[in-house]
Structure formats: structure tokens, C-alpha cells
Structure 1
Amino acid sequence: MRFKKLDLNLLVALDTLLTEQSITKGAEKLNMSPSALSNSLSRLREYFEDDLLTQIGRRMVITPLGESLKINVRNALNNIESTILVQPSFDPLTTDRVFSIFCSDYTQTVLAPHALEIIGKQKSTARFQFLPQVDNPDEQLEQGKADLLIIPSDFVSAQHPHDVLYKEEFVCVVWQHSEIAKGKLTAEKYAEAGHVLMRPAVIKKDFFETAFAQKYGIKRRLIATTFSFASLPALVIGSENIATIHARLAKKMAKVWPLEILPVPFDVTPMKQCVQWHQYRNNDEGLIWLRGILKEAAINMDAE
């Protein structure tokens, strides 16, 4: 099919090429031969009068025009998928959909089990893949790599709708037999202690500590960092170190590890945990169902 002399089938090829930046990988993804995809790229170059991707050494680099097309092409395909190709009705008991959800291991520990419990009781045939958080998470929605993001309100995009699922407080966890567990945890003791911190690999090295110091006026002495929220409580065992973590996660981990839960000795703004989806998928019945499941799960997780 052509629209203004452009073969619309080429849009899928263009989207894949701009995403993969490789003819070989793009051909594998589209289940076509590299020569066929190379021919599609030639036709796209002719239409747009631009190289779109250029070979530099062993890499293909996107041209400025290609970069300007990248999000618009992905949004166009998302719009087609959400308004034309998506089935008009969704039945959780017979669906074969696989929902991709980007969220932290904290979310997978405190919220996801309750969601899967509800889904199991409904006898839904839907499947799920929980994927690790990345920098610029809204791009995952725009590229169609994620159906939903579950992220703090500080990271939601203004370009896409979202709902607040719940609020989360923060607490300190220390080893139950440590000296720091005895008596009141003051701001002075907190500042003097060693700290273990979760630091995502995609975030620049000092992002969290700079923000923390600016917001609360306390510079923490870092002893260790990890990529996982759930591992933080274990890393204080046998030491005088502190981990500042989500209250719900601390409560769960204190059932497993010899931990003492202490209040943070200064006011910490509660986190608003949100679910976000693509603006073109407001009427996706599958996502409406799943968002309802997550809201119910947020209620149930505080009833345990």
C-alpha cells in the first residue's frame, strides 16, 4: 500500500533499522534476508533523499534526519497497532498476550506477587515478562518495548498518561546485633555511619548522592553499592552500616534477615509509585485490565 508515493511496508523496515542500527540484526528481527532489508533501505534513502544510516567502521550511525524520524515513525506504528490492529475486545481467560513491564526488583518483590496472585485466581492465560529499569524509560513505551512502566513519579514522562498506584515511605535497616541498632538513630549517627546504596548501572555515578545531599543536607559515606534494592538489607548484616530503603521492602526482609528497622532521622518525602502507558494505548482493553489488577494488588499488599 502506498501513501503519498511511500510504500507503507517500508515504515516497519525503517523503524527496525533505526532501532537496531544493523542490517543483519534488523533482518533477523523481521525474518527476512539481509539483502532484502538492504534493498528496503535503498528505497527509503531514495524517498527521503537522505542516507538515514551511514556506515562508519563496523557501525551504522543514524543521520540527523534519521534521528528526527525515529520517534515519529515509532509513534505512527504504535498508533496503527493500538487503533487498527489491536483486537476490539480482550478476554483474560483466553488471551495469548505477553505483557512487558519495566520495573525495579523492589516492585517485583512487594507488588508483583500480589498481582500474579490475583491473575492466578482469575485463571487468566495472560503471560508477563518483568524487564529491568533503563535510562529514559519513556523511550521504551515509544519504541514499543514496554506495555507498562512502574516507576516513581519523579521519572514519569509528561507525554504519556499515568496513575499513582500507592505511596511508599522510607526507613533505615541495620544489623540487629550492631551497636547502631541500640538507642535512637540520630542525624549525627546517620551521617557518621557507613552506607550501602542501590545504584542502577544506567545512572551516572554520583546522581543519587548529589541529589540526596542537595535535598536533605547530608552527605553519606558510601561503603558499598549494588544494582539490586532487594540485596541491600543483606549487605548490612554483620556490620555497623545502614541501608535506607522502602518501608514495605524492609518489612519483608526483616522476616528473613536479623534486621532492626529504624526511622530515618530526618523528614524524607514519600515516594509516589506510578504506572505509565503510551498515550495511544488509552483504550487498549488488555492494558485497562492489567492496570486494574495492579491497583487491586496495591491494596492487597498492605493487607498481609
Structure 2
Amino acid sequence: MTDRPSIARLDLNLLVALDALLTERSVTKAAERLHLSQPALSASLARLRTHFGDPLLARRGNAYELTPLALRLAEHTTAALESARRVFESQAEWDPGESTREFSIYGSDYSLATAGRRTAALAAERAPGVRFRFMLHNPQIVEDAGNRLRSADGLFMPHGFLTDLPFTDLWTDTWVVIAATGHPSISERVTLDDVARLPWVFTYQSQSAFTSATRQIQQLGIEPKVEAVVESFLALPMFVAGTDRLGLIQAGLAEYATRIAAVRAYDLPFDATPIHNAMWWHPMHRRDPEHEWLRSIVAEAMRL
């Protein structure tokens, strides 16, 4: 037997109140957010404190701070609320042309500028009421993808970083090296000697965040001289223009790079491993007709 209360006896409206309180860290602001009176939300906070046996919000001077338990709860509350919302918004028959659902997708700025942009454009033609929330990922989100994808619809990510999650293959790209227009050391092509000798700007450089091409450079016995790290493929050309640095971007961004900055794109002096891009998603969405539509529209957009 357990002393934990049955979920059947819990008021799920308290989950809404808990999420607002943990986000706003203020009864007044949380009440305003939920369009409730302050006494009503104070009553909800009292019930939550009784349930958890913890104050949740602790006054420090003129402000409130989250207790250690509240900090732990904050990691799960938003995901739980989103899951509950999806349960009650599910329909036996779903018409994308009539839907106002919002889909949330993580990705790098490269994948959002390519797959995200094209997906949103195609969806606007097929389902004008559907909305998208495109969010930049980071190493922590990728490392915790199994949990993060419980409250998001997808993650644009090349193969090689995630396992044990379902995926939908999208498109294949490759790498190019960019250098400043009129670079004094480079004329018609980039050589391995250039790769080893010249300084670089990388997009990621850690054990869990890297690009396949930078790993290949190291596997060739070359330790690149990294002068700058910028976690943005779209911003990288600005760190190359007017310098003697080299940079790596996807071929799909080469035209963009040469348009926004005084840089030129070159083939790599080795056979770079292709980038096999996919959308990764949680198994809970496998038989969700709305998510099936999302997967199909993303795949179609990248075939056009």
C-alpha cells in the first residue's frame, strides 16, 4: 500500500496553478496570468503546499524564491501540463484545414532556416490555422532529448547524435569551407595544408556538441587552430569575412553566406561524410493523427 493520494482525487486545475506559480514566482503575477483573483490563487497555493508538504515559494526580502523541491518540480510541470492539454485536445477525426494546433520543434538555426522555413510555408497552404513554434536547441536539450520530446513535437537533428528514438528522414546535405573573399592565401581551392595552417571559427566544440566535418579533420591528424566559437551557423560568415579564418557550413547555406558577407565557398579537400538530416520524435506520438500529418508535411516540404 502507499500513502500517496490517488490521481482520481487530485484537482488537475492545481497543475495549471502550479505551473503559473513556478514560472512567475509570485502569487500576484500568477493570478494575473491566469485571470484569477489573488485570494483564489493563494488558496490553490495553500492546497499545493499541503499536498507536497513544502512551501514551494519561500519569501526572501521583497521577493519569493523557489524551494529545492519547487526547482525540481519546475523541470516537469510544463511538460506535464502540455501532455494533459494534448490529451484533452485530441479528436477522433482531425481536419488540418480547420485546426488551430501549435506544433513545437527544436533545431539549429541551420535546420530551422531550411526545414522549418519550408515546412511553415507548405503548412500555411494546407492548414492556415496551424501554428509553429521553432526553438533553438542546445547541447543540454540534445542530451536530454528523450524527456524534452515529451513536451515538444520534434527535433531537427542529423543522424549520429541520437539513438533509441523514432525519426523521419528528411534531406541530405554536405559541408563546404568558407573563407574571406580575396583571402591572401587561397585562390582556387582549399588544401589540407590550409586546413592545418590557417585559423578557424567553429560552430560547436565540445564532447557532445560538434560537427561531423570537424571530427573528420581531427581524424586526419590535424588539430585545427580555433580562434572563435559561435553557436550559430547563420552568424558564422560574419566571423570569417575580413579575416584569415576558415569556417565550415552546410552547402545548403552557402548561397546565404555569400549573400550576407564577403566570403566565398570552397569544396573541402577531403571527402566529407554527408549530413543525413532527420526529424526525431517521441514514441508517444506514433499513432497520433495530428503528429502523423506533421511528419508527412515536413517530409514533403523537404522533397520539394
Are the counterparts in 2 of residues 14 and 41 from structure 1 also a CA contact under 8 Å?
yes
1:136 equivalent in structure 2? 140
Q: Which amino acid aligns with 1:240?
A: D
2:101 equivalent in structure 1? 97
C-alpha distance after superposition, 1:87-108 (max 9, x if no partner)? 3333222222233333222123
- Cα separation, 2, equivalents of 1:186 and 1:177: 16
Q: Which amino acid aligns with 1:250?
A: A
- Cα separation, 2, equivalents of 1:21 and 1:173: 46
- Among 184, 194, 202, the residue aligned to 1:197: 202
2:92 equivalent in structure 1? 88
- Cα separation, 2, equivalents of 1:236 and 1:222: 12
Percent identity, aligned pairs only, is 32
Are the counterparts in 1 of residues 167 and 279 from structure 2 also a CA contact under 8 Å?
yes
- Cα separation, 1, equivalents of 2:29 and 2:285: 28
2:178 equivalent in structure 1? 173
Instruction: Compute the displacement of 1:156 (Å).
Output: 4.2
Are the counterparts in 2 of residues 196 and 236 from structure 1 also a CA contact under 8 Å?
yes
1:61 counterpart = 2:66: yes
SS of 1:228's equivalent in the other structure is coil
Structure 1: runs of 5+ lacking an equivalent: none
Q: Which amino acid aligns with 1:23?
A: V
1:250 counterpart = 2:237: no
Do the aligned partners of residues 54 and 161 (structure 1) sit closer, same or farther apart at CA in structure 2, a change above 3 Å counting? farther
Are the counterparts in 2 of residues 181 and 260 from structure 1 also a CA contact under 8 Å?
no
Instruction: Compute the displacement of 1:248 (Å).
Output: 1.3
1:108 equivalent in structure 2? 112
Are the counterparts in 1 of residues 98 and 127 from structure 2 also a CA contact under 8 Å?
no
Q: Which amino acid aligns with 1:11?
A: L
1:299 equivalent in structure 2? 303
- Among 151, 154, 162, the residue aligned to 2:157: 151
- Among 189, 193, 198, the residue aligned to 1:188: 193
1:127 counterpart = 2:131: yes
- Cα separation, 2, equivalents of 1:268 and 1:10: 53
- Cα separation, 1, equivalents of 2:222 and 2:214: 7
- Cα separation, 2, equivalents of 1:278 and 1:289: 15
Do the aligned partners of residues 126 and 219 (structure 1) sit closer, same or farther apart at CA in structure 2, a change above 3 Å counting? same
Aligned length: 291
- Cα separation, 1, equivalents of 2:170 and 2:137: 18
Question: Bigger CA drift: 93-102 or 69-78?
Answer: 69-78
- Cα separation, 1, equivalents of 2:284 and 2:22: 21
2:45 equivalent in structure 1? 41
Are the counterparts in 2 of residues 152 and 274 from structure 1 also a CA contact under 8 Å?
yes
Are the counterparts in 1 of residues 172 and 274 from structure 2 also a CA contact under 8 Å?
yes
Are the counterparts in 2 of residues 78 and 280 from structure 1 also a CA contact under 8 Å?
no
